[in-house]
Structure 1
Amino acid sequence: MPISPSRSLDRRRFLAVSAGSALGASALSACAASVDNGGGSGGKGSGGGGKTTLTVMSNDGELGSKEVIAYAEQTLGVKISLVTYDMTKLNAMLASKNPPDLVRGYGALDTPYFAARGLMTDLDSYFAKSSVIKVSDLDPVNDLWRFDGKKQGSGPRYGMAKDWSQDAMFWYRTDLFDAAKLDHPSATEPLSYDEWLDLGKQLVKRRLGKVKVYGMNAGGGNIQMFQQMTASAGGSLFADDLASLDFSSPEALKALSWYLEYAKANIGPSPANPNPDGWDWPAFQASRMAMSSAGYWFGGTIGADAKLTKVSRFAPAPQLGGGHRISPCFGATGYWMPKDAKNKDLAWKLFEWYMGGKPAKERAGSGLGISALKSMRSMMPQGTRYQKQAYEVQQQELPYLQVMSMTPYVQSTALDAVINKVLPGAIKSGTSAGKVADALNKQMNAAIAQGKELVG
């Protein structure tokens, strides 16, 4: 039976929120700023001079940037109170019914969890009246911000991506391939995961038993990566009702076995041997990583290094085989409006400008992600050889985007926390894929069941 999105947050639902996020909240925590919520009757906030204050939970480089604050002050006549993005802080604000007016989030991950608990505002009426953002212009990736009470991809729109990427694709360095006398990956035909792993093993460089150049980074091991691999093998990690998952199915076990082989080979970062840099950029830039599993957005960072642009190329998402080609988005980072937000109409005006106005056009031309509006795709940079190559590869990849619905019963960070708890010891001890699958199933399904019971 669909979960009604209209119910308010009572204690039972707050416990559901807290239980779902407890295991993974630390992965998202940051130093939260002090809050001026600006609540009050009639949508008026407590800003100085009678101005309404919009409380925005975001990063300071996005809706907390100087440009956004200036626009809010001068055009909308409101003040911005920035709260640094923090999942634990957000859960507490939602529970107190004093949430931010706009919240940064991940459509692929957050939508089912928060919408199922009735914590998100249905934005369909706002989109219908907008002269800036037309529903017909929304890229299909925005369906990750929809939830029909059972799964993602249909139903009301609860948010919108600011930009996005197909995150199982990868970048590679031609100079390291040439030095190893290896052919470059195809720009049109995806590698199999086995072919990709074989390249990684040939590209790794060691000195005195220690890795000096990573052959590849296949990702740190997260629930969405296993979803994509399982789907490309012809299976589904989650049950149809999203109330359980099964790593021991033939397709999911194939994905898990592949990842364990990658991690045991020690040719790239993994939960057993994390990247000390925290992300791929420092190693990729310094010729210490041959292939990086990162979407189109990574090219915007590459563009700041003229030497690196000459040797960087983009490739389609590898496929496990046996199923259909799939190239999902793991984030769809954007913004949403809590159900209990105090200043919805003003928040929408800021949302509308940021998502469809000048900032959206600037993002589209930066190479730091694909525009969430189809009409702005032509603004993607193509001025240099590496930009043109990345653009062409990305355009050919678009048809393989597919919504992979996340369970609404537990936050994805809780599932990722189980992976990062189970895998390090299993990798180091050589535990069989079957036993690892059993451990993942037991712990993840217990968390999902608890969340389902609390949601009702």
Structure 2
Amino acid sequence: MTGALMMAAAIALSGCGSDGGESPSAAIDPNASPESVTGALTVMRNPGEMTDEKLDDFKAQYPNIDLTVIDYDAVKLASLQAAGSAPDVFRVEGPAVAPLVSQGLLLDLTAPFESAGVTDDTTYESANIYVFDGKRYGLPKDWSPDLTIFINKSIFQQAGVSVPDPSEPISWDEVRKLAADVKAGLPASSTIIPFGGAWDTFSPARFISARLAESGQTLYSEDQKTLNLVDNPDAVGFLQYMADMAKDGLTFSPLNPSASYAGDDFTKGNVAMAMYGYWFNSQVNSGETAVGVNYSMIPAPYWSDQGSRVDPTVTGTGYVVSAGTKNPQAAWELMKWYLTGDEAGKRAEAAAGLPVLRSNVDLLPQDSDVNKQAFGVVTAEAEDSPALQFNKYYDDSVFTTSYNKSLQEYLAGSISIEQVAQNIQDEVSAAIQDGVLAVGD
């Protein structure tokens, strides 16, 4: 969803659900029996995650809920929100939650989640990307510290490069050197990309935020009305790092994009290193891709101080409830079933990601060497995974679009990295100000 679409939907609904929808939430009975819950309910889901088969189980448990299912589509969601007919429950990435909360579009589910045992003690800190001003509006379905790196050992061996020890984090400079060494060690005709994932899949803003978190900084001011980019040497430094990786042919770029996404390229044996979270392990651990099982997962890199290293989630995909829902009880039952009940345990067993509830972590598979190795890395990384600050006034796709546009000019040699930063600063600042005006702050 573009920033403009999201904000347009938000503006259209700014009068719905006065302050997060506490009144509908108060009507939720956390102890309601499944048979007593009735009425219509609409969910917008990802069919590859919340499958028809799984929803059949929900319908069997809640026979008196009339469930309508819509497959997730960002444009359709924005249109439904603008029309005042948003689905009762819908899928969302963590960074998109803040703008929705600022517009009063989400139902406050603090009390129901607490009744289901979701507290700071039972979850990881990253679960708090759905918490604002002490109120919880949703929960990741699962999550991952997202700066871990998967390494195709076969490519490293072909290039004559040693695979890093997964028990010892490396620096970002070492990541770049590994990428350069892989490129140098492969035939000149090779089309293998040394490094993929990360900012070519998700917004570069999130990775700059992660870099700044290592030194206790944030990409946005405390009130979130200002982007701290052009005047922050550390932020511009990481912008330079990303741009020069592309300039040197070490990663994907707008001039050399992936045909699908870097994860798919990795499974096909066309990427040497892919920066993704633990969720990606389930896409390669079968041994049936071109990678086989000749890969490893290493911890997130650090910028300058290994002791301050962090590995936050940059997505935290989960579910939320519309503030305007007419059936908060049924909406909560679906949330509870999928996010905290037996279904959450089944996802853990399938290694869809790291469970949000600590009690489900031991359900993750450890039945093979690659699964044991990934389990060891992710459970250690999870303790160094803070909840990033995502901006509540705009959708960070604006940052992505601006970065990619200016990156092309940088790669052509027509502008400096400082001008790239200034272009992003100007366009994001305008989007933030539009968001500030939309909520009347």
Deviates more, 1:196-205 or 1:402-411: 196-205
> Match for residue 162 of structure 2?
183
> Match for residue 318 of structure 1?
301
Q: Is the 8 A contact 2:398 2:427 kept in 1?
A: no
CA 1:317–1:16: 2 relative to 1, 3 Å: closer
Letter of the 2:249 counterpart: N
> Match for residue 168 of structure 1?
147
1:266 equivalent among 228, 243, 249: 249
> Match for residue 227 of structure 2?
245
Matched residue SS, 1:80:
strand
Matched, 1:115 2:101: yes
Cα distance in 1 between the residues matched to 2:362 and 2:185: 43
Matched, 1:195 2:174: yes
Q: Is the 8 A contact 2:194 2:250 kept in 1?
A: yes
Q: Is the 8 A contact 1:222 1:416 kept in 2?
A: yes
Matched, 1:406 2:406: no
Q: Is the 8 A contact 1:93 1:99 kept in 2?
A: yes
Matched, 1:344 2:328: yes
Cα distance in 1 between the residues matched to 2:345 and 2:10: 36
Shift of 1:105: 0.6
Cα distance in 2 between the residues matched to 1:207 and 1:192: 23
> Match for residue 79 of structure 2?
92
CA 1:450–1:134: 2 relative to 1, 3 Å: closer
Matched, 1:53 2:19: no
> Match for residue 199 of structure 2?
219
CA deviations on 1:379-410 (whole Å, 9 max, x unpaired) are 11111001111111112212210111111111
CA deviations on 1:117-139 (whole Å, 9 max, x unpaired) are 11110101212333x75664233
Letter of the 1:427 counterpart: L
Q: Is the 8 A contact 2:58 2:337 kept in 1?
A: no
CA 1:176–1:120: 2 relative to 1, 3 Å: same
Letter of the 1:198 counterpart: K
Cα distance in 1 between the residues matched to 2:309 and 2:153: 25
Letter of the 1:138 counterpart: T
Q: How does 1:301-316 map to 2 (within 5 A)?
A: 301-306=283-288, 308-316=291-299
Letter of the 1:241 counterpart: D
> Match for residue 455 of structure 1?
439
> Match for residue 405 of structure 2?
421
CA deviations on 1:419-442 (whole Å, 9 max, x unpaired) are 222222222326321111111111
> Match for residue 3 of structure 1?
none
Cα distance in 2 between the residues matched to 1:360 and 1:62: 11
Deviates more, 1:204-213 or 1:52-61: 204-213
2:7 equivalent among 10, 17, 23: 17
2:374 equivalent among 370, 386, 390: 390
Q: What is the TM-score with the length of structure 2 in the denominator?
A: 0.85
Q: Is the 8 A contact 1:247 1:256 kept in 2?
A: no
Shift of 1:209: 6.1
Cα distance in 1 between the residues matched to 2:429 and 2:189: 37
Matched residue SS, 1:421:
helix
Matched residue SS, 2:208:
helix
Matched residue SS, 2:278:
coil
> Match for residue 105 of structure 1?
92
Cα distance in 2 between the residues matched to 1:229 and 1:320: 7
CA 1:79–1:247: 2 relative to 1, 3 Å: same
Cα distance in 1 between the residues matched to 2:274 and 2:6: 36
Q: Is the 8 A contact 2:143 2:279 kept in 1?
A: yes
Q: Is the 8 A contact 1:189 1:316 kept in 2?
A: yes
1:140 equivalent among 89, 112, 125: 125
Shift of 1:18: 1.1
CA 1:389–1:322: 2 relative to 1, 3 Å: closer
Q: How many residues are aligned here?
A: 409
Matched, 1:254 2:237: yes
Letter of the 1:118 counterpart: G
Q: How does 1:230-241 map to 2 (within 5 A)?
A: 230-232=212-214, 235-241=217-223
> Match for residue 373 of structure 1?
357
Deviates more, 1:59-68 or 1:393-402: 59-68
Q: Is the 8 A contact 1:243 1:409 kept in 2?
A: yes
Unaligned segments of structure 2, at least 5 residues = 12-26, 29-36
Cα distance in 2 between the residues matched to 1:16 and 1:383: 42
CA 1:125–1:230: 2 relative to 1, 3 Å: closer
CA deviations on 1:250-280 (whole Å, 9 max, x unpaired) are 111110111111010012212332111x212
Cα distance in 2 between the residues matched to 1:435 and 1:444: 14
CA RMSD across the alignment: 2.7
CA 1:143–1:339: 2 relative to 1, 3 Å: same
Shift of 1:449: 1.3
Q: Is the 8 A contact 1:255 1:320 kept in 2?
A: no
Unaligned segments of structure 1, at least 5 residues = 1-13, 22-41, 44-49, 149-154
Q: What is the TM-score with the length of structure 1 in the denominator?
A: 0.83
Give the percent of matched residue pairs that are identical in Structure 1 and Structure 2: 26
Shift of 1:306: 4.7
Cα distance in 1 between the residues matched to 2:83 and 2:51: 23
Cα distance in 1 between the residues matched to 2:254 and 2:165: 29
Letter of the 1:390 counterpart: A
Letter of the 2:111 counterpart: S
Deviates more, 1:200-209 or 1:254-263: 200-209
Cα distance in 1 between the residues matched to 2:146 and 2:376: 16
Letter of the 2:96 counterpart: D
Q: Is the 8 A contact 1:73 1:79 kept in 2?
A: no
